[in-house]
Amino acid sequence: MMILSRLLGCQEQLGFLHQSKEELTDSHPVVCNRNILVELEEGVGVAVMKMKSPPVNSLSLDFLTEFSISLEKLENDRGCRGVILTSAVPKIFSAGLDIKEMCGKSAEHYAEFWRAVQEMWLKLYKSNMVTIAAINGNCPAGGCLMAVSCDYRIMAENPKYSIGLNETQLGIVAPFWFKDTIANTIGHRATERSLQLGLLYSASDALKIGIVDELVPEEKVLNAAAATMSQWLAIPDYARQISKSMMRKPTLDRLLTHRESDIQNFVSFVTKDSIQKSLQTYMESLKQRKG
Ligand SMILES: CCCCCCCC/C=C\C/C=C/C(=O)SCCNC(=O)CCNC(=O)[C@H](O)C(C)(C)COP(=O)(O)OP(=O)(O)OC[C@H]1O[C@@H](n2cnc3c(N)ncnc32)[C@H](O)[C@@H]1OP(=O)(O)O
């Protein structure tokens, strides 16, 4: 019930009611949501989802709810066959889960938050559409999860940007389905090293290890994503979708089977004093790094 009311509440915030005439053209209907801009190019059947939640596109409960609703709308739109996921915030793809959602809140809040994280991943990983991440900035932890859940990743070749699952550096543990998703991308051995050490890879190392598929100059990331999209869309949908599902279903089923226990594990993990302390110390270190 709480989730339903949040979804309904968010649908109002989603801004379907606030579209201006300038934002709606025949060829590029744009939906300006609070955290995500969705632009559907109808003739081509491709939507661009631009995350725009400054300063760092952190994945808050509101953001995740909006993301899942937006993706579901596209999924149910027969005119949309592909999605390019990118960022409208300079230098940041996404800073991952919003750490503030995991600090000093109630057990009920943590459970609701974690269900929203699961939902985002389930929707993205099982999407029937072609999904391409156009990674135009830093991409740690939950941001990396989003990227590796897509079918293909193109990253800006900027030495300042990094990508990876750095959870252990915060004193926390990437859950099994984060691990499965990255292992499906880079293999078991590379995942083991990557997760234990909480590695963040530079763009060039990310290409070498296979976290990303292609590097291009920053200003070409979206064009490169559109070019790759047209190659993938040249394959008949039905055959491609069944192939995707064959590869991903066991991983999806594992979370679906253990969804409630995964939420309980998260809540009991994150409510530990030691974990709260680690997260708070990490947040403070982010602030100090600034100063
Ligand atoms: C036994 C098994 C049990 C299993 C249980 C499972 C538990 C697993 C739980 C969770 C998995 C976690 C996944 C995650 O995604 S955790 C998040 C990890 N993210 C990071 O480590 C990134 C942190 N951020 C950065 O490194 C940088 O901010 C940056 C490189 C992304 C951008 O740098 P810069 O442009 O210099 O910006 P600032 O650092 O100055 O940041 C601006 C502003 O934003 C705040 N902020 C940054 N990241 C986050 C975040 N992830 N959440 C919330 N807030 C964030 C930062 O503090 C600044 O705030 P301000 O000082 O108030 O301006």
pLDDT digits 0-9 by tens, 36-53: 999 998 889 999 999 999
CA of 18 to the centre of ligand 1 (A): 30
Cα–Cα distance for residue pair 172/87, rounded to 1 Å:
26
pLDDT digits 0-9 by tens, 118-138: 999 999 999 999 999 999 999
CA of 25 to the centre of ligand 1 (A): 36
Task: Calculate the average pLDDT of the chain.
Answer: 91
Domain coordinates of the chain in residue numbers? Answer: 2-219+233-290
- Of the chain, the end-to-end C-alpha distance in Å amounts to 43
Cα–Cα distance for residue pair 193/187, rounded to 1 Å:
11
Give mean pLDDT, residues 96-104. Answer: 97
CATH of domain 2-219+233-290: 3.90.226.10
Is a pLDDT exceeding 70 seen at residue 25? no
Cα–Cα distance for residue pair 211/144, rounded to 1 Å:
9
Instruction: State whether the beta carbon of 92 lies less than 6 angstroms from ligand 1.
Output: yes
Instruction: State whether the beta carbon of 99 lies less than 6 angstroms from ligand 1.
Output: yes
Instruction: State whether the beta carbon of 100 lies less than 6 angstroms from ligand 1.
Output: yes
Q: Is 167 in the active site?
A: yes
User: Looking at this predicted complex, what is its ipTM?
Assistant: 0.98
Tokens at 73, concatenated: 């709308």
Give mean pLDDT, residues 204-220. Answer: 98
pLDDT attached to residue 291? 60
Is a pLDDT exceeding 50 seen at residue 15? no
CA of 17 to the centre of ligand 1 (A): 32
